[in-house]
Structure 1
Amino acid sequence: MAVIGYARVSTAEQNLELQTAALKDAGAIRIYADKGVSGSAVERPELTKLLDRLDEGDVLTVWKLDRLGRNTRHVLTVVDELRNRGVSFRSLTEGLDTTGPMGTAMLTIMAAFAQLERDTIIERTRAGLKEAAKNNRHGGRPRKVDGAAAVRAADLKAKGLSANDIGKMLGVSRATVYRYLAS
């Protein structure tokens, strides 16, 4: 039986040290780590390598359940595949351990709540964007050229000026001029 760790951070700027230290303290003899890879990403090269190399009796250990994946279906599928191969799963932060039936049941419940939380955040974000749109507020960068400037750009273009010259006059890039001329 070997304890094998898996760590993941979503961006290259994030640090793996907290996770790897906890995995070493839990007895991990080998740690695979994906850096700059979202939990919802289909391709996680180090996780794929790890899953291919696990043997019966091994324990896949993660610092936190969402490191394995954010999608409930994916997490449960991976854990079910592990169980079918005789591999256990342990999540340190949540205290989950699938060596017994209670750990498996708790994992299913925790994964469902993680998915519920993610779905709720998405639902609230969409509702907020919809409400903002009703009040004529839209996300994204503020426009550099307002309606009057767009009309002026069209007039200058009709007089034969180049997009570069129009951009210099309005204080915007040539690409911005083309975007406003197209609309």
Structure 2
Amino acid sequence: MSRTILYARVSTVDQNLDHQRTQAEAAGFVIDEVIADHGQSGVTTALAERPEGKRLYDKLRHGDVLVVRWVDRLGRNYQDVTDAIRHFMRQGVIIRTVINNLTFDGATTDPMQEAVRDALIGFMAATAQAQAEATKEAQKAGIADARAKEPVKYRGRKPSFTRDQLDTMRDMLAAGSGASAIAKATGLTRPTVQRLRDDLGAAELVLAKWDC
């Protein structure tokens, strides 16, 4: 009997995993089980090396559906993400994303369809890595700026958005989603989404100042 398993990952232990399940269920997925990694980097730690990521390789069987919010939940390293997706497809597992409802499986034998599928997988994995690298640079700049503006009173107001919300927004922007859809998915107001979208670097700087 096939199962639908949601794999969720948050980069820090204080982020909430419930949002990823709620978002998946709102998109119509019926989740049988959630496997989640807390505080695991998608950049430096391969999926198969994470405590719960290992379980995916053990649990997933032919016909199962693996649901992720977006491919960056699997990882933010191009080689690791593409290797993982291809491994699961070879096992007969179907991979589906909540954002844009994309489906990847190994069922097709048509070479043109395979080429299009593999190109899309590669593009999404490369985008996830590029976003991670851009975020890291923005965080470094924000931390440097925050340190230069000691004491703490210069941090300004505490941000009205979280790291998880900003990551979701960044992923959805990369997938071509509009402000209204992002607002609905993140719980942020549409004006807030538009403001953050116009200067993601400034948003990263704010989070860095508050160590978020």
Q: TM-score range by the shorter chain?
A: 0.5 to 0.7
Instruction: Map residues 45-64 of structure 1 onto 2, 5 A cutoff.
Output: 45-64=51-70
Tell me the secondary structure at the aligned position of residue 5 of structure 1. Answer: strand
2:81 alignment partner in structure 1 = 75
Residue 35 (str. 1) matches residue 60 (str. 2): no
CA distance in 2, matches of 1:49, 1:125: 31
Q: Which runs of 5+ in 1 are unaligned?
A: 143-183
Residue 8 (str. 1) matches residue 22 (str. 2): no
Give the total of aligned pairs: 135
Offset, 1:76: 0.3
Offset, 1:118: 3.1
Q: Does the 8 A contact of 1:96 with 1:107 survive in 2?
A: no
TM-score by length of 2: 0.54
Deviations 1:130-166 (A, max 9, x none): xx9xxxx9x7898xxxxxxxxxxxxxxxxxxxxxxxx
CA distance in 1, matches of 2:29, 2:70: 13
Judge which range, 7-16 or 112-121, deviates more: 112-121
Counterparts in 2 of 1:22 and 1:122: CA distance versus 1, 3 Å? closer
Residue 112 (str. 1) matches residue 115 (str. 2): no
Q: Does the 8 A contact of 1:97 with 1:104 survive in 2?
A: no
2:169 alignment partner in structure 1 = none
Counterparts in 2 of 1:75 and 1:32: CA distance versus 1, 3 Å? same
Opposite residue 31 of structure 2, the aligned amino acid is A
Instruction: Map residues 1-183 of structure 1 onto 2, 5 A cutoff.
Output: 1-24=2-25, 25-40=28-43, 41-42=45-46, 43-99=49-105, 101=114, 102-120=116-134
Offset, 1:19: 0.4
Opposite residue 122 of structure 2, the aligned amino acid is T
1:156 alignment partner in structure 2 = none
Tell me the secondary structure at the aligned position of residue 45 of structure 1. Answer: coil
Opposite residue 60 of structure 1, the aligned amino acid is L
Q: Which runs of 5+ in 2 are unaligned?
A: 109-113, 151-212
CA distance in 2, matches of 1:91, 1:104: 15
The alignment-based identity, stated in percent, is 35
Counterparts in 2 of 1:56 and 1:44: CA distance versus 1, 3 Å? same
1 or 2 for the larger relative contact order (CA 8 Å, sep ≥6)? 2
Query: Looking at CA atoms only, which structure, 1 or 2, has the larger radius of gyration?
Result: 1
Tell me the secondary structure at the aligned position of residue 32 of structure 1. Answer: strand
